[in-house]
Amino acid sequence: MRPRAVQTRVPAPVLVREAAPADIPAMAQLHVQNLPVGLFPRLGHHFVACWHRAYLDSPHALALVVDGPGQEGEQGIAGFLIGALDREAYRHELLTRYRTRLIVRAAGALVLRPRVLASFLRTRLRPYLRGLRAPRHTPSVPPGAVGTAAVAELTAVAVAPALRRTGSGRVLTNEFIDRCARADVRRIELVTDVGSAGSVEFYRRTGWTALRRIHTRDGRTVQRFVRWTDAPEES
Ligand SMILES: CC(C)(COP(=O)(O)OP(=O)(O)OC[C@H]1O[C@@H](n2cnc3c(N)ncnc32)[C@H](O)[C@@H]1OP(=O)(O)O)[C@@H](O)C(=O)NCCC(=O)NCCS
């Protein structure tokens, strides 16, 4: 009897790369559909695309993607990550270089979304007005460099539902941690919504340390995590 051919499915390696401008619409779509928490995703794809663009352009931030099948079979992305290598320097840049275009986009989006506008006026107007004032002092960090005690921030990571549990989230976050280490940043922080699909478990199991839980202005509970770039990943 001839032996039957045994088919073994070897998962394809997950390849991560820096995002290009052409990836932004797909990144924005993944973000709005899979991470609809907080104000920014509720402002819609156009606003989120404008916000993601800042991560691609800024020397203090990073946008990563893993390729995957897109809608209708064409090349798309399976997941993305956005984060700041130096949170304070990036925030300063947002409030100077990107402030006007983000405010214009946000205002346009809020006019079209009366419920989001009402919630914004109730919970965020005052803190945002305070925060949006241009910083009085320019940080001494030159573009592309990070301060000695810089803290990085992993802002968002999301993987398409059909492609979860195949290692994309781990590869994206590991690449971000490597980039932070190469930029001499030791501490990375993030917050994640405790209601978001598996995210707390994901960070716990990939070597992040849980800090306090916080209740947000709009009634959500978020979990803070920290990670040191010289700490080994756990499993
Ligand atoms: C969180 C998220 C990015 C993880 O992406 P992923 O590609 O599925 O993660 P990985 O396959 O790399 O998982 C790595 C490990 O994390 C753990 N993990 C991931 N998802 C998990 C879940 N839902 N439940 C329990 N553990 C989980 C597992 O230990 C996993 O390893 P294993 O599959 O070998 O057991 C993805 O679930 C997602 O996009 N969620 C919605 C958006 C979100 O909440 N993002 C995080 C907030 S910023």
24-34 helix and 45-57 helix, angle to the nearest 10 degrees: 120
Mean pLDDT of 99-116: 89
CATH number of the domain that residue 107 is part of: 3.40.630.30
Mean pLDDT of 132-137: 58
At 230 the pLDDT is: 85
Ligand 1 center from residue 143 Cα (angstroms) = 33
Whether 118 is covered by a domain: the verdict is: yes
Whether 196 is covered by a domain: the verdict is: yes
Whether 72 is covered by a domain: the verdict is: yes
**Cβ of 159 less than 6 Å from ligand 1:** yes
Whether 78 is covered by a domain: the verdict is: yes
Mean pLDDT of 166-192: 96
Q: What is the pLDDT of residues 93-105, one digit of tens each?
A: 998 998 899 989 9
Number of domain units in the chain: 1
Ligand 1 center from residue 180 Cα (angstroms) = 21
Mean pLDDT of 38-54: 93
**Cβ of 230 less than 6 Å from ligand 1:** no
Span of 6-10, 177-181, 182-186, 206-210 with lowest mean pLDDT? 6-10
Ligand 1 center from residue 125 Cα (angstroms) = 33
pLDDT confidence bin for 1, thresholds 50/70/90? very low
Whether 4 is covered by a domain: the verdict is: no
Q: What is the chain's alpha carbon radius of gyration, rounded to the nearest angstrom?
A: 19
Q: What is the pLDDT of residues 150-175, one digit of tens each?
A: 999 999 999 999 999 999 999 999 99
Domain span including residue 145: 16-228
Tokens 């919970």 belong to residue: 123
Ligand 1 center from residue 167 Cα (angstroms) = 8
Tokens 């079209």 belong to residue: 112
Q: What residue owns the CA closest to ligand 1's atom 10?
A: 167
Whether 128 is covered by a domain: the verdict is: yes
Task: Give 74-126 as a DSSP string.
Answer: SEEEEEEEEEESSHHHHHHHHHHTSHHHHHHHHHHHHHH-HHHHHHHHHHTHH
